[in-house]
Amino acid sequence: MKHANLSIFVPHMGCPQSCSFCNQRNISGAEKPPTSAEVTRLCNTYLPKAEQGSNTEIAFFGGSFTAIDYTFMVALLQAAYPFVQQGRAAGIRISTRPDAIDANILNTLKQYGVTAIELGAQSMDDEVLKANRRGHTVQQVCAAAQAIQAHGFSLGLQMMLGLYGEQDACAYAQKTAQAFLALCPDTVRIYPTLVVAGTQLAEWYTQGQYTPLTIDAAADICAQLIPAFEAADIRVIRVGLHADESLASTVLAGPYHPAFRQIAESRIYLHKMQQGFASRLKGTYTVCVPKGELSTAAGQKKCNLQQLFKQGYTVTVKEDAGLCKKYREIAIL
Ligand code: SF4
């Protein structure tokens, strides 16, 4: 069944922190919090348009939902919940901080039809969390994740790549990914760190204290993480921030690209082809890829094929409907 979200942004107001990379007003594209009347209007406007059989969830994103004023949080949930009861929405998703979860909050969320909770973990290294002023620890991520699962919610975990203080971004990403795998989340989001105007990170960047990842480096790391999560049946529901004009205009530096996920997935194919050719003589080959994957396998502007050509392999790609898209199977002829 096709998944979709009706996203309702609840901006910075709920968050007591000032994480180094966050200017929540820019990221959410919204300055004022929604009212419960607006939630009702949005649901009435957009849910009836959901495709027949679609699995649309009402998603309160953008800030730390469970850290906002409790009465206001409940009012937003009360506005959304009737649409779940009527079967017009499959459930409600929220995103929040690990230290804004406890048994009372979880019971309230359950009472109002919340089905999925995403935790902004960002890193599973305490030094990196501290350096980026996250205000929570790895242990709090683990405790919140376990409590969410024990209450029967779907668990989502969000991580960032190339945070301030990471000397080796790939090693830190692997550490966080391994810790996520141990927590068995249902979904994961991977966000390369961007330097957004008005943040502490922007100051460090202009002072020469922070160097962001390149698109290439970030894509290479994602090309290792995505298959690792998928192999554990964890859905990677986002790679890179949502392409958005208001965001793009505030990004000062960093691996931002509107098609970042495709670049990362394309890199997975490149790595697979390079592995496949490692034991083959240089020459001309056809690489079969799953249906619908031709352009991803070839890479943007055929960059994968050019890279292989430089290594001595002249490659054409063709579709083979028998290959599995989920596992990005390839066959070299
Ligand atoms: S906890 Fe989330 S909303 Fe709050 S400052 Fe950090 S990233 Fe932004």
Percent of the chain with pLDDT over 90: 81
Q: In the CATH hierarchy, which top-level class contains the domain 3-258?
A: alpha beta
Please give the average per-residue pLDDT across 158-182, as a whole number. 98
Cα dihedral 86, 90, 95, 98, rounded to 10, equals 100
pLDDT for 17 = 81
pLDDT for 16 = 67
pLDDT for 267 = 97
| 24, 66, 95, 163, best to mutate for ligand 1 pocket (most atoms within 8 Å of CB) | 24
**47-61, 173-187, 196-210, 292-306: least confident range:** 47-61
| 19, 21, 68, 119, best to mutate for ligand 1 pocket (most atoms within 8 Å of CB) | 19
pTM exceeds 0.75, yes or no: yes
125-161 per-position pLDDT tens digit: 999 999 999 999 999 999 999 999 999 999 999 999 9
Atom of ligand 1 nearest to the CA of 133: 6
Contact 241, 247 (CB under 8 A): yes
Residue environment code for 162-199, b if the CB has 16+ CB neighbours within 10 A, otherwise e: bbbbbeebbebbebbbebbbebebbbbbbbbbbbbeeb
Q: What does pLDDT average to over the chain?
A: 92
**153-157, 167-171, 210-214, 242-246: least confident range:** 242-246
- Nearest-angstrom CA–CA distance, 33 and 45: 18
Atom of ligand 1 nearest to the CA of 23: 8
From atom 8 of ligand 1, which residue's Cα is the shortest distance away? 22
78-131 per-position pLDDT tens digit: 999 999 998 899 999 999 999 999 999 999 999 999 999 999 999 999 999 999
pLDDT for 231 = 94
- Nearest-angstrom CA–CA distance, 2 and 153: 20
Burial of 45 (0-12, 13-18, 19+ CB in 10 A): exposed
| 28, 65, 96, 97, best to mutate for ligand 1 pocket (most atoms within 8 Å of CB) | 97
Best-predicted range by mean pLDDT (50-59, 241-250, 272-281): 272-281
Contact 56, 4 (CB under 8 A): yes
Identify the band that residue 174 occupies on the pLDDT scale cut at 50, 70 and 90: very high
Please give the average per-residue pLDDT across 1-29, as a whole number. 73
Helix count (H) and strand count (E) of the chain? 13, 12
- Nearest-angstrom CA–CA distance, 207 and 226: 33
pLDDT for 139 = 98
pLDDT for 116 = 97
Residue range(s) of every CATH 3.20.20.70 domain in the chain:
3-258
The closest of 18, 173, 189 to 95, measured between CA atoms, is 189
pLDDT for 11 = 76
Atom of ligand 1 nearest to the CA of 24: 8
Atom of ligand 1 nearest to the CA of 63: 3
Identify the band that residue 25 occupies on the pLDDT scale cut at 50, 70 and 90: low
- Nearest-angstrom CA–CA distance, 287 and 89: 42
Lining ligand 1 with CB less than 6 A are: 12, 15, 17-19, 22, 24, 63-64, 97, 120
pLDDT for 12 = 63
Backbone φ, ψ for residue 98 (5° rounding): -60, -30
29-66 per-position pLDDT tens digit: 456 789 999 999 999 998 876 655 568 999 998 778 99
pLDDT for 123 = 98
From atom 3 of ligand 1, which residue's Cα is the shortest distance away? 63
